[in-house]
Chains A and B, each alone.
Chain A
Amino acid sequence: MGLAVLLGIFAFAVILGTPVAFALGIASLAAFWFEGLPLMVGVQRIISGINVFSLMAIPFFIFAGELMFHGGIAARLVRFASAAVGAVRGGLGIVNVFSSMLFGGISGSAIADISALGSILVPVMKDKGYDADYAVNVTVTSSIAGIIIPPSHNMIIFAIAAGGGISVSKLFLAGVVPGILMCVCLAIVSYIIAVRRGYQAEQFPGWTALAIAFFGAIPGLLTAVIIVGGVLSGIFTVTESGAFGAIYAFIVTLVVYRALTWESFKIAVKSSVKTTSMVMVLIACAGAFAYMLTFYQVPSLMIETMTGISSNPIMILLMINIVLLVLGMIMDMAALILICTPIFLPVAVGIGVDPLQFGMILLVNLGLGLCTPPVGSCLFVGCAVGNLPMEKAVRTIWPFYLAIFAALMLITFVPAISLTLPNLLGG
């Protein structure tokens, strides 16, 4: 009965159009009240949701991404990607994917990727005769790379949700190959569609221009080296590395690129706060929601149900994938990581899946969910950037879904894709 109150009010509030974060909070406090639990503790659970030191990395990664965007790093990455791979048929689609792969290596956020790269690339693509739906679809789906390719604040959230037993630097290493694999799948699909729709290639600008573009992009690309290298060499912890990414981006854009003005700095701060607070309040309220799910013993019920249906590992993995995909369609990523990890991680470990690999499965699934209606923040932002109604974008997006799904199946059933690198390099 209490569980029905919790889930019912949540669903009701979401359907009405209440922000998802507050729908979680409202449903949880209603359940607290229904169970006669002190509401002060409900408030405590919301606060405790973000009273976690490792979460400090989130504002830093977001801030770094915003500084890179407003300070000209993103534009230089696009220039480099365009010089390197633009000469292929439908080149700008592949440039878009390749840019996301590079940008994904320095920013942990898909939204930052879309707003940074999308706002540069989508207008250019439209100019050169690409259809708006294609431009938006490529931008939206390739932004998921930012979540899988390290660094990624969603990996930190996963490590926290897993209870601290998973090394974040190993998670970072685990994400490299799956992230690249996903980008390759997306690039193939982009190419096929581009050929069928007859999009033209860019002219190869020559090796000199490529070299110039590459050198221009180096200070930006170094951000990734600084962040991951600083962690692996023991200069700072993962949390601290985010702050260093932001400080580094600030210095590069101010001193090296001289593209950061007081006005653009203020805009970067303002949008960082906006994104940070959206993510954090979602995590906070999801904390209260997860408390009530635990209170109703949902995790253990779920484990019993799933292992009761089948004991075949492949079946269980498929089931987990399907549940995550469906949940990903209706809820946002951070909240789902926090809610689903304690429920599914034990199931996955129970059938012999490595927690690192499970993390990749989880992130790709939920990442795909970010690109789907009805709740898909990447899709929302992408359509806003491309000035395109959501229905139009969704009509032609399915081949891209298929690409991510193909990558997902490979990641699910070939453990080596995720595990080879962390096993090789330790971390």
Chain B
Amino acid sequence: MVDKSDVPAALSAMDKLFDGIVWICRVVTGVALVLMTIMFGWLVFGRYVLNATPTWVEQYSLLLIMLIAFLGAAVGVREHTHLSVVAFRFVVPTQVRTVMVLLTDTMMAVFGVVLVVYGAQLTMFKWNTMIPLIGISEGYRSLPLTIMGGLILLFSIGHIIRVLIGRDERADSIE
């Protein structure tokens, strides 16, 4: 377990910031999921009972799922909940393990950068194209992935800092 008693101030400030971001993502994705469920209930009610199908449900739900998927996945990166194969980390000496963890975090950080840069480009490229039936910009479709890229970059840097100062929470699962 990471000792909480003498956590450097800068590190706990970083943790607080990240916890805040995670909290926002949780609220947004949770609301999105509930909203989507209600929208589909309304869709069936509208078509089956009112005989007036709401034509916007399909398109909006496709946007909401982007939010749920990518913001939720960013939270998963911070909390290490994504499926990964850690078996190989068990069989190597500690120093090699540290290098493996650092390499992973670095690759993730680079992946984050690529997603931010090209996600933003794609968002701008499509900004003036409107989604049929709801009339809002196609750019919103790629925005959540772009944000996820930024968060992955941020969280991965956080992981790297923790590893370098010997406070990586993954030590638990590895040891």
Contacts and interface: CB of A to CB of B under 8 A. Distances in A.
Touch between chains A and B, by CB atoms below 8 Å:
yes
Interface of A: 13-22, 25-26, 29, 39-40, 42-44, 46-47, 50-51, 53, 55-56, 59-60, 63, 235-236, 239-240, 242-244, 246-247, 266, 269-270, 272-274, 276-278, 280-282, 284, 330, 332, 373-375, 377, 380
A235 B48 contact: yes
Interface string B61-99: 110011011111101110001111111110000000000
A22 B34 contact: no
6 contacts: A40-B125, A60-B40, A235-B44, A244-B44, A269-B33, A272-B33
Nearest to B100: A16
- The interface residues of chain A, by DSSP majority, are classed as helix
Report, nearest first, the 6 A-B pairs whose CB atoms are least far apart.
A277-B72, A243-B40, A19-B82, A280-B69, A281-B73, A39-B118
A270 B26 contact: yes
B83 A380 contact: yes
- The interface residues of chain B, by DSSP majority, are classed as helix
Given A266-B30, A269-B34, A278-B83, A18 B108 contact: yes
Given A47-B142, A51-B141, A20 B84 contact: yes
Interface string B111-140: 100110111011001000000000000000
A352 to B, nearest CB: 36
Question: Which among B30, B40, B48, B118 has the greatest number of chain A C-beta atoms within 10 A?
Answer: B40
A319 B133 CA distance: 47
Nearest to B28: A273
Contacts of A20: 82-85
A53 B88 CA distance: 37
B36 interface: yes
B110 to A, nearest CB: 8
Contact of A50 (B69, B81, B103): B69
B41 A247 contact: yes
A51 to B, nearest CB: 6
A236 B142 contact: no
Contact of B111 (A15, A16, A22, A273): A22
Contacts of B34: 269
B68 A273 contact: yes
B36 A59 contact: yes
B66 A50 contact: yes
B37 A47 contact: no
Contact of A277 (B71, B115, B122, B141): B71
A21 B82 contact: yes
Contacts of A274: 72, 75-76, 81
A276 B72 contact: yes
A273 B29 contact: yes
Contacts of B36: 56, 59-60, 243
B81 A18 contact: no
B157 interface: no
A282 B125 CA distance: 25
B111 A26 contact: yes
Contacts of B145: 43, 46-47, 284
A22 B82 contact: yes
B68 A59 contact: yes
Contacts of A377: 83
Given A29-B114, A60-B37, A55 B65 contact: yes
B83 A21 contact: yes
A280 B33 CA distance: 13
B73 A21 contact: yes
B29 A373 contact: no
A47 to B, nearest CB: 6
A240 B101 contact: no
B43 interface: yes
B68 A280 contact: yes
Nearest to B148: A281
Contacts of A42: 114, 118
Contact of A63 (B33, B85, B101): B33
Given A243-B37, A244-B44, A51 B114 contact: no
A381 to B, nearest CB: 10
A332 B85 contact: no
Given A43-B115, A51-B141, A18 B84 contact: yes
Contacts of A56: 36, 40, 61-62, 65
Contact of A246 (B37, B48, B114, B117): B37
B58 interface: yes
A17 B88 contact: yes
Nearest to B114: A29
Contacts of A22: 77, 82, 107-108, 111, 152
B12 interface: no
B134 to A, nearest CB: 14
B48 A277 contact: no
A42 B145 CA distance: 12
Contact of A273 (B61, B72, B83): B72
Given A16-B88, A20-B84, A47-B142, 19 more contacts: A15-B88, A17-B86, A20-B83, A20-B85, A22-B77, A26-B110, A39-B117, A43-B118, A47-B66, A51-B62, A53-B62, A59-B68, A236-B48, A244-B41, A273-B30, A273-B68, A277-B71, A281-B70, A284-B145
